[in-house]
Amino acid sequence: NAGVTQTPKFQVLKTGQSMTLQCAQDMNHNSMYWYRQDPGMGLRLIYYSASEGTTDKGEVPNGYNVSRLNKREFSLRLESAAPSQTSVYFCASSSQDRLAGELFFGEGSRLTVL
Amino acid sequence: QQQVKQSPQSLIVQKGGISIINCAYENTAFDYFPWYQQFPGKGPALLIAIRPDVSEKKEGRFTISFNKSAKQFSLHIMDSQPGDSATYFCAADRGSTLGRLYFGRGTQLTVWP
């Protein structure tokens, strides 16, 4: 089982460039999330989508946009990259079974902005 | 403001010892407290989780202790093994925001053989 797949795994950008991180899940989950992980900061929620057609801001949404393309896919876009966006980005998904509560994470996309 | 505070930042334990990681929270609306384990180059994966209606949950060598009145919970790893070397994150979730986990800053555990 693939689970949650993220592309690309690595990317180097120059300040001001744009790019889109792609995420797809094959577990038929309703909810999908984008987190960023920085050293000593843990994981911080950027945006999430509780179901197809809806998106909401998380803790650190500034500088990002998202698109829930369909039930499987959730993309994260940086319109004008800044060095402060150098981070490891994780996509995750979960079912809406309240008793389950488990997030399934991809392996991450490592972004460097010069 | 950090919703979940985790300590220590790093921990070194000898093989066979007990590893203990602590977390504290303020928001009494939190009702789900998972621990995630992350190996280098991988995404976090759920290790064990607890809800506030119980004070302890054990799965193999891993135990969560939960103190509702103190708003604290901890992870105990018994008989720690080199394969347990990883980063551990505690987290908390509110009932009305499924999956919107608030994570601690992580503890890097190293188990020496």
Q: Distance of alpha carbon B37 from its chain centroid, rounded?
A: 8
Whether A98 shows a pLDDT value over 70: the answer reads no
pLDDT confidence band for B95 (50 / 70 / 90):
low
pLDDT confidence band for A100 (50 / 70 / 90):
low
Q: Identify the closest residue of chain B to A32 by CA–CA distance.
A: B99
Whole-number mean pLDDT of chain B?
93
**Listed residue (B15, B4, B27) closest to B107, CA to CA:** B4
Residue A55 at interface with chain B, using a CB cutoff of 8 Å:
no
- Smallest Cβ distance to A101: which of B34, B103, B106? B34
Interface of B with A in 34-53 (CB under 8 A): 34, 36, 41-46, 49
Whether A99 shows a pLDDT value over 70: the answer reads no
pLDDT of the residue at A73:
97
Residue A40 at interface with chain B, using a CB cutoff of 8 Å:
yes
pLDDT of the residue at A26:
95
In chain B, what percentage of residues exceed pLDDT 90?
A: 79
Q: What is the pLDDT of residues B23-48, one digit of tens each?
A: 999 999 898 899 999 999 999 999 99
Q: What is the pLDDT of residues A71-92, one digit of tens each?
A: 999 999 999 999 999 999 999 9
Angle subtended at Cα B59 by Cα B105 and Cα B8, rounded to the nearest 5 degrees: 25
**End-to-end CA separation in angstroms for chain A:** 35
B72-77: strand order across its sheet: B4-7, B19-25, B72-77, B62-67, B56-59
